[in-house]
Amino acid sequence: MSENPTHGTNGRGPAALVIGGGIAGIQAALDIADAGFHVYLVERSPSIGGRMSQLDKTFPTLDCSACILTPKMVDAGRHPNIDLYTYSEVVQVTGEAGNFHARIRMKPRYVDPEKCRGCGLCAEACRLAGRVSSDFNAGMGQRAAVYVPFPQAVPLIYTVDPEACVYLTRGVCGKTFKCKDACTAGAIDFDQKEVFVDVEATTIINATGFDVFDANLRPELGYGAYRQVITSLEFERLASASGPTAGKITLDGTLPKKVVFIQCVGSRDQSLNIPYCSRVCCMAIAKQAHLAHDRLPGAEITVFYMDIRAFGKGFEEFYDRVRHEGVLYRRGNPSEVLRRGERLVVRAEDTLLGEPVEVEADLVVLAVGIRPRADAAELAGMLGLAQDENGFFQEAHPKVATVESNRPGILLAGCCQGPKDIPDTVAHAKAAASAALIQMAQTQKAMVTAHAAN
């Protein structure tokens, strides 16, 4: 489907607008499109894929995340019924159920999508190659000012980062644009402007995802102070084949020998006003502990926890397996992390031993909780949606209506409504698709009836 339509309105029957191109948005879009309806899928970053594209392997099957995600990404990118708007944002929504008008702002990539072949010569040539912190790599890796977030991006079109590019921030790029010179397709275009597209939709699905807890808010755990304390998301990037170390779990080239994982950082914590459980971290850490065990032969791996929430299909069995492999689970919520020489020491009470313990570590991984996106309130304002007391979008009823919001015609899918793992997210997104399909089928029927009556 064309990446850059100049107008995106109808004549095609009822359409859905899906805001957010992570797995929730992609799944909802695919189901609606497969059923024969039109979908506008809007994603703010240069590629769809979302958080799932940042994961290495997924629990409990240890499927590689990219393997199960990229085919869906490709499907969404090529589906005749899906109009994909990446590097775009919805800036205004008016109207009501059955008749929404949305304005999409297509941010300028400064790269012509019709010409770019995704070859990467511009990024190699860029003056800032290797010097711009990569968001996709959670700050663990570097890239150039012109980039694709990861090699399997959909669409595979380069984007110039307006906050990093020397020309865009300072007005000059040496004597000549290195990127332009390197590009054999003539795709770099610094005159590109933002484009606004107006679309009409019967229903809107909010699939805008989540952020993670800022571990700086728990300073006694040493994040930010000690290089060897990282978050679970950063660990995920280290462990990924597409990450900054090509899957080698290392911070400086040497392999850690003592790894300590700490659960519930920024979850189940009333002192931070974050009383809820983030649901996925027990299993995510079990998976990461397994990966660490796999890739760091002979390493001592410890997980400090309060409760192990291995509740889903295959989860308890996976938790059994990881313990069998020799990962040591110690019950206790660590109080602080201190430096001891070259290493770190984690102080906790092992509540089952009933004694305080100090465990040495050369890598500490904090299981950071799932938080609403920093701009959730803005989005709530634009869509007229209510937020719950934790900042996630409020569902119409916590048991029987978790995809409906307080606003008729606007549905919720995935983690923007509350923490979920991938299977839960896919089910939730499909449920949202079901609700959308019902509305769209009813709208279509009404349209047909009206048309026949004329």
Q: Which of residues 225-264 bind another protein (CB under 8 A)?
A: 240-242, 246-247, 264
Helix (H) or strand (E) holding 94: strand 88-96
Q: Are 393 and 419 in contact (CB under 8 A)?
A: no
Identify the residue whose tokens are 């904090």.
366
Q: Tell me, what amino acid is at 24?
A: A
Binding to another protein by residue 360, rule CB under 8 A?
no
Q: Binding of another protein at residue 310 (CB under 8 A)?
A: yes
Per rule CB under 8 A, is residue 313 in the interface with another protein? yes
Total site size for another protein, rule CB under 8 A: 100
State which of residues 296, 365, 437, 443 lies at the interface with another protein (CB under 8 A).
Answer: 437
Pairing label, strands 142-143, 38-42 = unpaired
CA 97, CA 306: separation in Å to the nearest integer? 44
> Of 154, 199, 207, 370, which one interacts with another protein (CB under 8 A)?
154
Residue linked to tokens 């711009």: 132
When binding is defined by CB under 8 A, the residue of 445, 446, 447, 448 that contacts another protein is: 445
The span of 122-130, 161-169, 178-186, 307-315 binding another protein (CB under 8 A) equals: 307-315
| Partners of 259 in beta bridges | 301, 363
From the CB of 46, what's the least distance to another protein, in Å?
Answer: 13
- Whether the bond between 155 and the residue before it is cis, its omega within 30 degrees of 0, is yes
- Which of 34, 112, 214, 360 touches another protein by CB under 8 A? 34
Parallel/antiparallel/unpaired status of strands 229-231 and 363-368: parallel
Could you say which of 77, 113, 209, 409 contacts another protein (CB under 8 A)? 77
> Maximum CA pair distance of the chain?
84
Among 399, 450, 451, 452, binds another protein (CB under 8 A): 399
Selection from 451, 338, 442 nearest residue 37 by Cα: 442
- Give the DSSP letter of residue 184: S
Closest CA to 365 of 442, 314, 305, 277: 305
Residues 350 and 332: beta-carbon distance below 8 Å: yes
Smallest gap from Cβ 377 to another protein, in A, equals 19
8-state DSSP, 377? H
Instruction: Select the residue interacting with another protein from 96, 114, 317, 375 (CB under 8 A).
Output: 317
Could you write out the DSSP letters of every residue in 343-376? EEEEEEEETTTTEEEEEEESEEEEEEPEEE-TTH
Out of 314, 323, 391, 407, the residue judged to bind another protein by CB under 8 A: 314
CA 215 to chain centre: 18
Q: Which is nearer to another protein, 130 or 356 (CB)?
A: 356
Query: Packing angle between helix 65-78 and helix 23-34, nearest 10 degrees?
Result: 40
Kindly state whether residue 435 participates in binding another protein, applying the rule CB under 8 A.
Answer: yes
Instruction: Pick between residue 61 and residue 94 the one whose CB is nearest to another protein.
Output: 61
Question: Taking the complex as a whole, how short is the minimal distance between the CB of residue 164 and another protein, in angstroms?
Answer: 24
The 98-137 site mask, x for binding another protein (CB under 8 A), equals --------------------x-------------------
Contacts (CB under 8 A) with another protein, residues 158-217: none
| Binding-residue pattern over the window 265 to 304 for another protein, x denoting contact by CB under 8 A | ---xxxx---xxx-x-------------------------
Q: Which is nearer to another protein, 102 or 403 (CB)?
A: 403
311 binds another protein (CB under 8 A): yes
Q: Shortest Cβ distance from residue 430 to another protein (Å)? A: 3
